[in-house]
Amino acid sequence: FQAPLYHYIVEGLLVVWIIRLLFFKSYKIHDKVPLTTKEKDELIEDWEPEPLVPPLEETRAVSKPYRVVSGQPGKEIVVDGYKCKNFASLNFLGFVENERISKAATECVSKYGVGSCGPRGFYGSFDVHLELEKRIAKFTGTECAIIYSYGFATIASAIPSYSKRGDILYVDEACCFAIQKGVQASRSNVVYFKHNDMEDLESKLRHQEMLDKKDVKKSSVTRKFMVVEGIYMNTGEICDLPRLVDLKYKYKVRLFVEESLSFGVLGQHGRGVTEHYNIPVEKVDMMCGSMEYSLASTGGFCCGREYVIDHQRLTGLGYVFSASLPPLLACAAIEAIDIMEEE
């Protein structure tokens, strides 16, 4: 343990230097050549910001006004005064005009009123929310489900609650906008693969596997996820779930499936793309869906194993920091699931 004296001195100086670095403000150029107050005021006077938004005429020139729908947007629809057959809404099961659902919602208003007036944590959890979560879990055959008050916020909140900075997301390049926002909010590394191209995905996974072997320490804490859609909102194609499940176990990458469009549509009972391919739903780590299309209500849900899903109750931004789903919409969704099962 004999070290020369200069060694101690150098190390001592280094320690002092580090402490100095930690506690002193960072070096700024403008500290060196201070501007006078007058110069600053002139700069402030000179600065002209861009307008907040483009002028009204410019916006008007590139856009059309919304069409106005009068009355119920069911299979018959009145658009801008024209009576039409409706080929545009995502009312797959025709639940918009369903009497039973309207009746359930009406009863719910007479019991709970309209708004929930609070987030789930603070007296915004209604018994009907808990029931709806149970019903969704039972219907999809998963352990548990969590509901959000807005379909769009569901996957966009779910992705960042698992995938953080440094993790890797494999995302289909044709994925819908909500997924893109979730991916962006997570700040993870994103790898886009060609639309529905399993070869391309596999080659990217293989490439990563090679990198992982080189840096075992890093790869042992890097979570990896694949995010796909059951039916792609942008192209209408169905994902190749059997191949994805193979890849999941082969490369140890978790699999999230966004089923907004496929829930209630694919499979014998409408359980979505897993039922369509006859794949046990446990093979998918998380299945997200929307209650805004087939179920003709509002909001979204995620379901899967309790180990995975429960985490969102403390970290899903759109779940924690927003008021819960109005109870009447939860009742409507419960009734819609009942009808799906019965009819």
Ligand X SMILES: Cc1ncc(COP(=O)(O)O)c(C=O)c1O
Site for other proteins in 235-294 (CB under 8 A): 249, 252, 254, 282, 290, 292-293
CA angle 232, 173, 187 (to 5 degrees): 115
Q: Please say which residue, 237 or 310, places its beta carbon nearer to other proteins.
A: 310
Rule CB under 8 A: choose which of 6, 24, 66, 82 binds other proteins.
Answer: 66
Report the candidate in 228, 229, 209 with the shortest Cα–Cα distance to residue 219: 209
- Token pair in block for residue 159: 């992705």
Cβ of residue 304: shortest distance to ligand X, in angstroms?
24
Binding partner of 204, given other proteins, ligand X, none, CB within 5-8 angstroms per partner class: none
Of 57-65, 198-206, 236-244, 261-269, which segment contacts other proteins by CB under 8 A? 57-65
Cβ of residue 124: shortest distance to ligand X, in angstroms?
9
Judge whether 290 and 325 are in contact, CB under 8 Å.
Answer: no
Binding partner of 17, given ligand X, other proteins, none, CB within 5-8 angstroms per partner class: none
* Three-class SS state of 301: strand
In single-letter form, the type of residue at position 191 comes to V
Binding to ligand X (CB under 6 A) within 285-324 occurs at 321-323
Cβ of residue 116: shortest distance to ligand X, in angstroms?
9
Q: Please say which residue, 121 or 280, places its beta carbon nearer to ligand X.
A: 121
Q: Please say which residue, 270 or 316, places its beta carbon nearer to ligand X.
A: 316
Cβ contacts of residue 285 below 8 Å, gap of 6+?
225, 254, 255, 256, 304, 305, 308
Q: Please say which residue, 4 or 81, places its beta carbon nearer to other proteins.
A: 81
b/e per residue 61-78 (b: at least 16 CB within 10 A): eeeeeeeeeeeebeeebe
Binding partner of 267, given ligand X, other proteins, none, CB within 5-8 angstroms per partner class: none
Binding to other proteins (CB under 8 A) within 128-147 occurs at 129-130
Q: Is 125 in the site for ligand X (CB under 6 A)?
A: no
Judge whether 325 and 149 are in contact, CB under 8 Å.
Answer: yes
Query: Tokens 């501007």 — which residue?
Result: 35
Q: Please say which residue, 153 or 273, places its beta carbon nearer to ligand X.
A: 153
Of 12-20, 86-94, 198-206, 239-247, which segment contacts other proteins by CB under 8 A? 86-94
CA distance 331 to 194: 40
Cβ of residue 103: shortest distance to ligand X, in angstroms?
27
Judge whether 170 and 225 are in contact, CB under 8 Å.
Answer: yes
Cβ contacts of residue 94 below 8 Å, gap of 6+?
74, 75
Judge whether 224 and 253 are in contact, CB under 8 Å.
Answer: yes
Q: Please say which residue, 105 or 153, places its beta carbon nearer to ligand X.
A: 153
Cβ of residue 9: shortest distance to other proteins, in angstroms?
27
Cβ of residue 180: shortest distance to ligand X, in angstroms?
21
Compute CA distances 235 → 32, 179, 239, 282, 313, whole Å: 57, 15, 11, 27, 32
Rounded to 5 degrees, what are φ and ψ at 162?
A: -110, -45
Cβ of residue 117: shortest distance to ligand X, in angstroms?
9
CA distance 249 to 233: 26
Rule CB under 8 A: choose which of 174, 320, 338, 339 binds other proteins.
Answer: 320
Binding partner of 252, given other proteins, ligand X, none, CB within 5-8 angstroms per partner class: other proteins
Q: Is 102 in the site for other proteins (CB under 8 A)?
A: yes
Report the candidate in 151, 139, 176, 133 with the shortest Cα–Cα distance to residue 272: 139
List of residues contacting ligand X (CB under 6 A): 321-323
